[in-house]
Structure 1
Amino acid sequence: MLQMDCLVCSFCFRFIGSIELQIGRRLYLQSLGDSANDKCHMGSSSHASEDCYNTDSSDMEDGSYMKNHEDYGNCAPGSSKDNISLPKGFIESLMNGELELPFSDKFPLPSTIPCPGGCGEAYYCSKSCAEADWELFHSLLCTGERSKALSRAALLKFIEHANGTNDIFLLAAKVICSIILRYRKLKAAHLEEQGKTNANSKSSNLSLLLEAWKPISIGYKRRWWDCIALPDDVDSSDEASFRMKIRELAFTSLQLLKAAIFDSECEPLFSLEIYGHIIGMFELNNLDLVVASPVEDYFLYIDDLLHGEKKEAEKITRPILDALGDDYSICCQGTAFFPLQSCMNHSCCPNAKAFKREEDRDGQAVIIAQRPICKGEEVTISYIDEDLPYGERQTLLADYGFRCSCPKCLEEEP
């Protein structure tokens, strides 16, 4: 699940549109100021609050993306810095493609493809990503007219609650939607193969649901309210009350989600026990994820030009850079669950690590070997900062439900 202040593909998280659109959009959001912060918040599933659902994206691509930009749904926190302001017309010309920045052609980005369901929140780098997201998750979480949700009104309430409390609920909803949609595919294939009479029974439905659950089953799970770390500002004497409040928060979220997408054949997925374990799985397995911004690369390219070219280009780019301030290099960042990575065990002396290289420009997990790994040797990563002292490492790892006995810990054990 990614939280972002940039325009990226809602499926693979590649930056999309153009350098001009990325910069113009950032400047526009920045110009909204703190009032936008109170209204809009964006998560990895590209959902925002109900106030932001006014754009019909059915015919928006590239230059037409910002045709109705004052109402669009990809809202995100603006900067509160006192940066230099640029004219509104200049910003709009960046967003609608009328203005081309010098050397921006050196940094081409995929065109923006709108959501096939007609919502104004999700955009994609290709039709294949749009179709994949629709088939895997988004058809049940889309707020557009072609949404497959049971109730779009209830879905909006669920999203609003998640944005106002904890957007990890949006990722939990994506997981449940993926299982429901996978189950429906499996059932359709089963019915075609076996015939309706033999296949449409509770026992066969349950076996198909368990099959659909398999990709999620491999992640280590505990109930969210049991495994979440106690915040520093919560006294240990209040721990029981804190964990009960977290449980109640999850229950409220689940009821809203159930009203939005409930499927009676997938009823087990809508139990609080399952919901709590799915969210707990994120708490214990998710990776921090960063996708670097091409806008930063663009300004670095301008800075490295020969003096004459640089001086000419900066007549246009310098005021933009001053207006952006520190936000010029803002990246797409957040947290994500990867089933394969979640199978990797911990070691305080790991032979691999999760790491995004310069060429890794999407939201895929990348695991890099830190040393030669022998055939048959287990691939391990570190769940924590392995440079911490022995006692601190063991305390942190206790949240994962085990005591580490890797070679480093055995050597340092008192």
Structure 2
Amino acid sequence: MDSVCKTDEKIAADEYFNKLITSRRCNGIEVKLNETIGKGVYANSEFQEDELILKDQILVGIQHSSNKVDCLVCSFCFRFVGSIEKQIGRKLYFKNLGVSGCCDGDSSESGEDECVKYNGNEVQCGGSSSSHNTLPEGVVSSLMNGETALPYTDMFPLPSPISCHGGCQEAFYCSESCAEADWESSHSLLCTGERSESISREALGEFIKHANDTNDIFLLAAKAIAFTILRYRKMKAEHVDKKAKQSEPKQLLLLEAWKPVSIGYKRRWWDCIALPDDVDLSDEGAFRMQIKNLACTSLELLKTAIFDKECEALFSLEIYGNIIGMFELNNLDLVVASPVEDYFLYIDDLPDTEKEEAEEITRPFLDALGDEYSDCCQGTAFFPLQSCMNHSCCPNAKAFKREEDKDGQAVIIALRCISEKEEVTISYIDEELPYKERQALLADYGFSCKCSKCLEDSSSV
């Protein structure tokens, strides 16, 4: 399977994208292949300003490990679950412990900080919680366990959390359908629970720890590989069930299973990752070798955990590097607004008398949360259609969540009127930056922008 990284040239993508667009019910667009710039998304009907162009579902995505102490969300669609009380109670519980979701792994010079485990992940514990107003442990526990109800939370209902089918107690879901979908698409191989289908739960735990300690982009790569393996097994079983007279070569089945992942633009991670500001150009070679070795270590741990002989080609370092590189270049931030923020804003907007009565109860909780009351779910994800959208420093569309968008899907909205056959573009960077800064940032994506704004700006430099 040496040609896996070049499957864009070998697999007819039109059929795949057409099916994808139909399933997303976004028939106002089409994906076209261009020999010069690769894939692009084009309008095949007119869009008005602020009109929805696309809602794209996640192919693979993760919530950042550090964010899990702040937000309890569905591990498949990333919708908030539980209740407003549970969300607030969990945050206050971990905050009272001194646990921070923003962990850089460094200890304080005084030695008072330490790391604790939460759902198998290390999170930072501060030596003191004096920087915020604390509530009694019993009050927090009562709120978290559903024994205390806050006023008006019935206006913000959340689905009850459903535990992982494998028993890992790390993944939770908003519905049985999400639990089943995640299990069938990747989690059955990546679950650390007793019913996991991994060949070594111990190795899987080591892989997850290594990813959390280094770069959680490895978790995305593992999801992509697990997704492909499970898709291959399902296609193989369906092929056997059909009792085909001529057996389909396993190589072709694997390529077909790989197709959804193959659509992303790929470069090896250690080649395309941007050089950090603190690394001198003279040390670039050593830095990129270090990144390659990091990926090699991660791959060996993953291989020990979920290796499948029939899918052996997926476990080459070349493939692994290209998968991670694809995520490095094509990912979109996964952001889901917190209903807790909406709740407190609702309280603040109540008529004066009702507001005063409600705040007698809610104010202590808001004060205890501090500025963190509005923390949203944060992660990273690969969206197959959104990843085909090209950049422009004068884009005609943007990723923007509306009030009704409560899960992790990518939402693309028109910034202005878009005519039929016009390419739909988004900005990968802050397009208000000066020309040279924009070009420097876009160089990390492997191209020089030649949009109308850049052509105009370059003439005045």
TM-score normalised to structure 2 length: 0.79
* Residue 34 of structure 1: how far off its partner (Å): 4.7
> Match for residue 71 of structure 2?
6
Deviation by residue 1:92-143 (Cα, 9 ceiling, x = unmatched): 1111111111111111111111111111100000000000000111111111
Aligned residue in 1 for 2:87? 22
In 2, Cα distance between the equivalents of 1:359 and 1:230?
39
Q: 2:398 is paired with a residue of what secondary structure?
A: strand
In structure 1, the gaps of 5 or more residues are 41-48, 54-72
Contact 2:334 2:378 in 1 (8 A): yes
- In structure 1, distance between residues paired with 2:157 and 2:313: 46
Match of 1:88, as an amino acid? E
Aligned to 1:180: 229
Could you list the per-position Cα deviations for residues 284-322 of structure 1 after superposition, in whole angstroms to 9, with x for gaps in the alignment?
111122111110111111112222222222222111111
Tell me: CA distance 1:386–1:153, structure 2 relative to 1, closer, same or farther (3 Å): same
Is this contact kept in 2: 1:36–1:78, CA < 8 A?
no
Preserved CA contact (<8 Å) 2:268 2:318: yes
Percent identity between the two aligned chains: 71
1:32 aligned to which of 97, 105, 109? 97
Change (3 A) 1:106 1:85: same
Once the 2 structures are TM-superposed, how far is the Cα of residue 404 of structure 1 from its aligned partner? 1.9
Q: What is the aligned counterpart of 2:280 among 222, 232, 235?
A: 235
Runs of 4+ more than 3 Å apart: 34-40, 49-53, 73-81
Tell me which residue corresponds to 1:152.
201
Deviation of the 1:355 alpha carbon: 1.3
Residue 140 of structure 2 is matched in structure 1 by 91
Q: Is this contact kept in 2: 1:155–1:260, CA < 8 A?
A: yes
Aligned residue in 1 for 2:270: 225
Give 1:412 shift: 2.5
CA contact (8 A) 1:119 1:142 kept: yes
Residues 358 and 305 of structure 1: is their aligned pair in 2 closer, same or farther, counting only changes over 3 Å?
Answer: same
CA shift in 2, pair 1:75/1:114, >3 Å: farther
The structure showing larger relative contact order (alpha-carbon pairs under 8 Å, at least 6 residues apart) is 2
* Structure-2 separation of matches of 1:370 and 1:39: 37
Q: Among 404, 411, 417, which residue is 1:366 paired with?
A: 411
Query: Deviation digits for residues 145-202 of structure 1, max 9, x if unmatched?
Result: 111111111100100111111111111101111011111111111122244x8427xx
Residue 381 (structure 2) aligns with: 336
Give the Cα separation in 1 of the matches to 2:100 and 2:353. Answer: 41
1:107 corresponding residue in structure 2: 156
Partner Cα separation in structure 1 for residue 74 and residue 339 of structure 2? 14
Partner of 2:216: 167
Is residue 352 from structure 1 mapped to residue 397 from structure 2 by the alignment? yes
Q: How many residues align?
A: 383
- Check 1:52–1:396 CA distance in 2 against 1; reply closer, same or farther (3 A cut): closer
1:16 shift after superposition: 0.5
Equivalent of residue 389 in structure 1, options 434, 443, 452: 434
Query: Mean alpha-carbon deviation: is it higher for 400-409 or for 312-321?
Result: 400-409
Output the CA distance in 2 between the equivalents of 1:233 and 1:389.
22
2:340 pairs with one of 295, 302, 310: 295
**Partner SS state of residue 333, structure 2:** strand
Residues 236 and 333 of structure 1, relative CA distance in 2, 3 Å threshold: same
Aligned 1:182-197 pairs, distance under 5 A: 182-195=231-244
Identify the match of residue 143 of structure 1 among 175, 189, 192.
Answer: 192
Structure 1: how far apart are the matches of 2:304 and 2:135?
Answer: 45
Find the aligned partners of 1:39 and 1:26 in 2 and give their Cα distance.
19
Q: Which amino acid aligns with 2:78?
A: F
Deviating more after overlay: 324-333 vs 251-260: 324-333
The CA deviation string for residues 265-299 of structure 1, in whole angstroms up to 9 with x for no partner, is 00111011111111111111111221111101111
Cα offsets for 1:185-224 (capped at 9, x unmatched) = 11111122244x8427xxx111111111111111111111
In structure 2, what is the equivalent of residue 59 of structure 1?
A: none
Give 5+ residue unaligned stretches, structure 2: 1-61, 106-114
- The whole-number CA distance in structure 1 between the counterparts of 2:134 and 2:155 is 27
Shift of 1:391: 2.4
Alpha carbons of structure 1 residues 406 and 35: separation in structure 2 relative to 1, 3 Å: closer
Give the distance between the partners of 1:116 and 1:110, measured in 2 at CA.
Answer: 17
SS of alignment partner, residue 433 of structure 2: coil
Is the Cα–Cα contact under 8 Å of residues 116 and 124 in structure 2 kept in the other structure? no
1:260 aligns with 2:309: no
Aligned ranges 1:55-74 → 2 under 5 Å: none
Asked if the contact 2:100/2:124 (under 8 Å) is kept, the reply is no
Name the aligned partner's letter for residue 199 of structure 1: S
Shift of the alpha carbon at 1:410? Answer: 2.4
In the aligned structure 2, how far is the partner of 1:50 from the partner of 1:322? 25
> Partners in 1 of 2:157 and 2:116 — Cα distance?
33
Q: Is the 8 A contact 1:36 1:75 kept in 2?
A: no
Write the distance in 1 (CA, Å) between the matches of 2:423 and 2:218.
Answer: 33
Other structure's SS at 1:366 match: strand
- Aligned-residue CA RMSD (Å): 2.2
CA distance in structure 2 between the aligned counterparts of 1:37 and 1:108, rounded to whole angstroms: 28
- What is the match of residue 41 of structure 2? none
SS in 1 for 2:334: strand
Checking the alignment, whether the CA contact within 8 Å between 2:116 and 2:123 is kept in structure 1 is no
Query: What letter is aligned with 2:230?
Result: L
| Deviation of the 1:37 alpha carbon | 7.7
